[in-house]
Structure 1
């Protein structure tokens, strides 16, 4: 008697057509795609379909990936490059139909365990930013230990886009170049006291002190970052680190320049005008402020505006705004914009370097963050690199002067 054909073969064929060069296999023996593919997407368990049935608009697939019901062996880049194709109506309809059929055949018993995964951040609807809520969300994102971020970011301990200019540039050299560029734009020197809003682990302040001789004040609302940066500058009188929300700590009298590098994404659209107003009140007329932030196109895909995967697993309540909104809010707050410099192609290389670090140090990253969080970061970094490469998102330094 001839064995029955694998029931998932039509879906596997459809997925393979949307993922050129990627092999697709499933637990029932279905297979499609190149036999010698360097990347294979594997549907490992029927629970993957129950997850899709419970959350059919992308979140279910994300949960299946994080939980290990779907696996990618080999290079993740070819899947990330065609991730948008998996949202094609024909693919989505085929996936949902298959999910219903498979789950029903199993008596819907998989639905009970196919909800939120253990590492998922379950918050109220994104968009609201209160001091308490932002602190909880920052603790989720940055609360992973400094050991994890050291493995991910390398010795620079800098979690923002670097500036690469040569093919042979190391990540550390590119981050040093970015810090030097900021210092030059702000005209830092021995006379300067620079405020770093969202100072992370203190790398920009360290560069400002050691390279330009500047004094510095750093703000962070992450307890982990505060403790790390405080230890870093212990015994160094030129830099002070403060723990708290910018709404509680600003304005700060007596500073001569200010910067915010990779923090504006946490502010939110509704609070953008107030944020820039608080910064402006800390500066004398003529003093300079630099804002580095990831931006999205004004008319970009809706999934970039509210990415369910990133909101749940990596960056809760993070929001990317168009550059035009930043410039308008700076103007209203009393700033004159002096220059803008975009370098998304360098951020693509930055996220690629972080992804290489993650994969090279995989076992140690899993030990530091847990398997689900490590898997989430792998997908997040691969997807971010692709979006910088295709121009869906960019990163811009805006240099402004207080009027």
Structure 2
């Protein structure tokens, strides 16, 4: 056998070990200009030996993600193709925590690192990693506030570029694929209001109110009086400004407050959209009871949350999203969410699955990010922008492949007005 020439073939061989596959689904381009892998396949570019040092110390999803965030690996072209290819094979296609390499696989990887001249001490993680907020009691008020700040206080200018004018950071509802992001988000906001049965004068609590979009919609179009709570000071400042500009300060109040500290119920309706993922499996029962206690008899709660679609899956605290995007975040199965709401004494009225809608939403956000790349880097920094690009792309792939789903669960506290015989008014 002839001597291997160039760096790329060695990287490609080592990647098959890391991925746990005999068939590399990517074309590798190395810092010396060499290439390896199937022609026409999505390309990964290794810009630095340091990328392989990261992979040696964290041989899996986290090592690759750190190298990408640091700019040591690039995925030129369509990022969806590159990350879908990675997600399709070997260990990356498996459900659950990343399966560790065997001793023999680690030895093979080490030999490649030595040959490439990449051996050295463990590199420090990129500064965007969230270890700083992963201390203290999990889901204590202070730790939850730090986790929320890490994710949502990136900057309102940055989120405006990604989310667009709607400023809605959750799954849109698309009447058809070409509807456009803003129309789909407006449709989602109205759908939530209709499911909650809002009427003029109703008092509504919006848990995790974000930048105030649902609160504004409910007040403007349905005449509701809305209290929105968030732990993000930047979100609250932005939302309050929008409320004043809309002339709705008499109907919308935005608070920086933990939902567990809300004590001025009862409310006629409660919305919780994209918030319960921050609650955690151990706390979800208390979350459901707390919101039920804040509802008047006959009042409705709509819980909109991402879920695992392939049965219950334990979160891997060393994977990319918990470390960089949602510290302490936990997706639950739909059955666990419904079970918690039911156990709290809430009657289930409706469940709607929106998995493919979130894939469309994420692709729209990625397009927005790509269209404003230079401005986004200026606003939030190159590493943070790379984090968000990777997170949104891999999340879209997860929804498209059915690994994850997103569901709206509508429940009602018993007593008071009975629900309609059928889902008239919100379908």
Do they superpose with TM above 0.5? yes
| Unaligned stretches of 5+ residues in structure 2 | 17-21, 93-97, 415-427
What is the aligned partner in structure 1 of residue 126 from structure 2?
A: 117
SS in 1 for 2:76: strand
* Alpha-carbon distance, 1:255 to partner: 1.8
What is the aligned partner in structure 2 of residue 223 from structure 1?
A: 233
| Unaligned stretches of 5+ residues in structure 1 | none
What is the aligned partner in structure 1 of residue 43 from structure 2?
A: 40
Instruction: Provide Cα deviations, 1:384-403, integer angstroms capped at 9, x if missing partner.
Output: 00111111110100000002
Shift in alpha-carbon separation, 1:163–1:18, aligned structure 2, 3 A: farther
d(CA) in 2 for partners of 1:97, 1:370: 36
What is the aligned partner in structure 2 of residue 232 from structure 1?
A: 242
SS in 2 for 1:82: helix
* Alpha-carbon distance, 1:316 to partner: 0.9
1:87 aligns with 2:100: no
What is the aligned partner in structure 2 of residue 285 from structure 1?
A: 297
What is the aligned partner in structure 2 of residue 342 from structure 1?
A: 353
Instruction: Provide Cα deviations, 1:176-234, integer angstroms capped at 9, x if missing partner.
Output: 11111111111111131111000000000111111111111100011111111111112
SS in 1 for 2:214: helix
Shift in alpha-carbon separation, 1:173–1:108, aligned structure 2, 3 A: closer
- Structure 1 contact 300–392 (Cα < 8 Å) conserved: no
d(CA) in 1 for partners of 2:114, 2:297: 67
- Structure 1 contact 49–98 (Cα < 8 Å) conserved: no
Shift in alpha-carbon separation, 1:202–1:307, aligned structure 2, 3 A: farther
1:388 aligns with 2:399: yes
Higher alpha-carbon deviation: 93-102 or 227-236: 93-102
Higher alpha-carbon deviation: 280-289 or 52-61: 52-61
d(CA) in 1 for partners of 2:82, 2:63: 17
1:356 aligns with 2:364: no
* Number of residue pairs matched by the alignment: 397
Instruction: Provide Cα deviations, 1:322-378, integer angstroms capped at 9, x if missing partner.
Output: 011111111121201111001100000001101111111111111111111111111
d(CA) in 1 for partners of 2:111, 2:66: 19
Q: 1:263 aligns with which of 275, 279, 296?
A: 275
What is the aligned partner in structure 2 of residue 169 from structure 1?
A: 179
- Structure 2 contact 8–36 (Cα < 8 Å) conserved: no
* Alpha-carbon distance, 1:244 to partner: 1.5
Length-normalised TM-score, structure 1: 0.91
Shift in alpha-carbon separation, 1:168–1:109, aligned structure 2, 3 A: closer
